[in-house]
């Protein structure tokens, strides 16, 4: 391998402080200094501002400052009290305050923001239906997409229930968002605590200030039976690992069936007879696709981190590492996080060819012991797919299908299938055969790579 992949990428760990400092783009300090001086205020400007202090007035403290309540809050409380009093006197309780400016019913809000009563702000990128809105409860059905709710913990009418498919999210004061998309419901809490209920199981998603936590719930419309620990190959099961872990832990293993093969099922035979799911274009997790699927790469990264922390030795750990790297690679084009910086700068365009070859070799991995390698490099491989030109992407897509091979026979069968499908890359094939010392027609291998 001519180019070294940074260890933290290969090992699916976070970069160290030193690596971060090294990776931040350097800048000529003289230029910055000159720019700072060039935009510093002139003495004349400062003097004019200082002169304006003659007319400046320090506001007198108001009663509100002392009692800690602002007039607006008090006014709201007063209005609410008056409404309650009126209702009590007349014996007629208000049936509905309704979302401001909107009747009960369906609201299609794509990238819209609106108030829902006096205590709930909604920013929606989806379709909502206000099912109930009275002084006892506000009930929102999230039909599709994402909606972020900000609920004033001390506000009126703050009791809010979100229904996303069969999942209920209950809250009384927090900031969170809910996404329903493609058989998955995501609850991402940025402040406070929400209760998530699904099929009789309740769990809580909490977050302190500056942090976030997420629950992912894979919906089961076919069967209410607890899912098997590992889904069988070829069946798309967007189901978490264990029933109790459905909430709060991400364990979606639908698109990488390697662990099943590792258990020695009939996967090998089945894989040889049927196209592998991973060769499907739908499985290439580009950032755009992740976004469309409602899978924020950073959220995914956090969830796989959590999974690996809780289940480091589980049979799903290799694919968890792989998915973690996919999420990591998925961050690259967003250009918004530190992790992304490291990915983006660690793998330069010049390294693509070498990486691609290396990825090919690894993904035709021979033997169970290569599973981890295969998985970890697939993260980089996905990165290549998302950044490569059409040819690179097509080639990468074809060869990615070989990654699931867990022994020599499978690898060579997969190679033959790829070639039979016309997914040819003579130079690469020659390299593969050279490294694996594969003799044409013999399917025999000697020694191992590297």
Q: Which range touches other proteins (CB under 8 A), out of 4-12, 38-46, 187-195, 248-256?
A: 38-46
Q: Which range touches other proteins (CB under 8 A), out of 61-69, 239-247, 250-258, 353-361?
A: 61-69
Indicate whether 336 belongs to the interface with other proteins (CB under 8 A).
yes
The size of the interface with other proteins (CB under 8 A), counted in residues, is 42
Indicate whether 41 belongs to the interface with other proteins (CB under 8 A).
yes
Question: Min. distance of Cβ 38 from other proteins in angstroms?
Answer: 5
Instruction: Closer to other proteins by CB, 25 or 390: give it.
Output: 25
- Cβ pair 371, 258 in contact under 8 A: yes
Indicate whether 23 belongs to the interface with other proteins (CB under 8 A).
yes
Question: What track of x and - describes contact with other proteins for positions 345 through 384 (by CB under 8 A)?
Answer: x---------------------------------------
Q: Which of 30, 309, 350, 434 binds other proteins (CB under 8 A)?
A: 30
Indicate whether 16 belongs to the interface with other proteins (CB under 8 A).
no
Indicate whether 18 belongs to the interface with other proteins (CB under 8 A).
no
Instruction: Closer to other proteins by CB, 220 or 342: give it.
Output: 342
Q: Which range touches other proteins (CB under 8 A), out of 34-42, 347-355, 405-413, 422-430?
A: 34-42
- Cβ pair 3, 356 in contact under 8 A: no
CA Rg, the chain, in Å?
A: 28
Question: Min. distance of Cβ 187 from other proteins in angstroms?
Answer: 21
Task: Give Cα 362 distance to the centre of its chain.
Answer: 26
- Cβ pair 120, 151 in contact under 8 A: yes
- Smallest CA-to-CA distance from 372 within 450, 316, 410 is with 316
- Smallest CA-to-CA distance from 179 within 170, 169, 187, 190 is with 187
Indicate whether 208 belongs to the interface with other proteins (CB under 8 A).
no
Q: Which range touches other proteins (CB under 8 A), out of 20-28, 137-145, 269-277, 281-289?
A: 20-28
Indicate whether 24 belongs to the interface with other proteins (CB under 8 A).
yes
Indicate whether 446 belongs to the interface with other proteins (CB under 8 A).
no
- Smallest CA-to-CA distance from 237 within 250, 224, 255, 249 is with 255
| Rounded distance between C-alpha atoms, residue 15 and residue 328, angstroms | 12
Instruction: Closer to other proteins by CB, 48 or 439: give it.
Output: 48
Indicate whether 69 belongs to the interface with other proteins (CB under 8 A).
no
* Cα→Cα distances 360→201, 251, 364, 384, 416, Å: 43, 27, 6, 12, 14
Strands (E), 48-118: 105-116
Question: Min. distance of Cβ 24 from other proteins in angstroms?
Answer: 5
Phi-psi region at 152: left, alpha or beta (left = phi > 0; alpha = psi -120 to 50): beta
Phi-psi region at 367: left, alpha or beta (left = phi > 0; alpha = psi -120 to 50): left
Task: Give Cα 408 distance to the centre of its chain.
Answer: 34
The number of beta carbons lying within 10 Å of the beta carbon of residue 450 is: 8
Q: Which of 2, 18, 31, 440 binds other proteins (CB under 8 A)?
A: 31
Instruction: Closer to other proteins by CB, 207 or 361: give it.
Output: 207
| Rounded distance between C-alpha atoms, residue 200 and residue 94, angstroms | 32
Residues that bind other proteins (CB under 8 A): 20, 23-28, 30-32, 34-36, 38-42, 44-46, 48-50, 52-53, 56-59, 61-62, 65, 210, 335-341, 345
């Amino acid at each position: 391998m001519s180019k070294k992949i940074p260890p933290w990428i290969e090992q699916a760990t976070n970069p160290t402080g030193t690596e971060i400092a090294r990776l931040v783009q350097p800048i000529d300090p003289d230029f910055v200094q000159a720019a700072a001086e060039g935009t510093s205020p002139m003495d004349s400007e400062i003097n004019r501002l200082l002169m304006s202090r003659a007319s400046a007035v320090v506001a007198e403290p108001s009663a509100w400052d002392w009692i800690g309540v602002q007039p607006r809050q008090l006014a709201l409380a007063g209005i609410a009290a008056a409404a309650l009093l009126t209702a009590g006197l007349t014996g007629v309780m208000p049936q509905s305050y309704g979302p401001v400016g909107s009747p009960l019913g369906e609201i299609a809000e794509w990238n819209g923001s609106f108030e829902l009563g006096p205590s709930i702000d909604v920013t929606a990128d989806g379709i909502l239906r206000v099912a109930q809105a009275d002084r006892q409860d506000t009930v929102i059905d999230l039909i599709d997409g994402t909606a972020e709710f900000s609920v004033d913990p001390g506000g009126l009418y703050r009791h809010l229930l979100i229904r996303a498919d069969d999942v209920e999210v209950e809250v009384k004061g927090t900031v969170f968002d809910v996404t329903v998309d493609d058989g998955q419901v995501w609850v991402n809490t940025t402040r406070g605590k929400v209760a998530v209920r699904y099929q009789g199981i309740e769990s809580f998603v909490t977050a302190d200030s500056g942090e976030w936590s997420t629950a992912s719930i894979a919906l089961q419309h076919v069967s209410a039976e607890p899912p098997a620990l590992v889904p069988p190959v070829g069946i798309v099961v967007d189901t978490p690992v264990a029933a109790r872990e459905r909430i709060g832990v991400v364990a979606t293993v639908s698109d990488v069936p390697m662990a099943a093969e590792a258990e020695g099922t009939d996967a090998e035979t089945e894989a040889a007879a049927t196209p592998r799911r991973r060769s499907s274009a739908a499985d290439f997790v580009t950032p755009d696709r992740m976004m469309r699927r409602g899978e924020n790469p950073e959220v995914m990264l956090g969830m796989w981190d959590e999974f690996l922390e809780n289940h480091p030795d589980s049979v799903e750990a290799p694919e968890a590492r792989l998915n973690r790297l996919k999420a990591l690679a998925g961050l690259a084009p967003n250009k918004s996080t530190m992790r992304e910086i490291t990915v983006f700068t660690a793998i330069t365009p010049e390294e693509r060819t070498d990486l691609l070859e290396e990825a090919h070799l690894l993904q035709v991995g021979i033997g169970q012991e290569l599973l981890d390698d295969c998985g970890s490099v697939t993260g980089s491989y996905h990165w290549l797919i998302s950044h490569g030109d059409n040819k690179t992407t097509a080639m990468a897509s074809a060869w990615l299908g070989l990654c699931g091979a867990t022994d020599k026979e499978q690898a060579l069968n997969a190679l033959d299938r790829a070639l039979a499908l016309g997914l040819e890359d003579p130079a690469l094939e020659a390299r593969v055969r050279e490294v694996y010392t594969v003799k044409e027609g013999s399917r025999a291998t000697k020694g191992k790579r590297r």
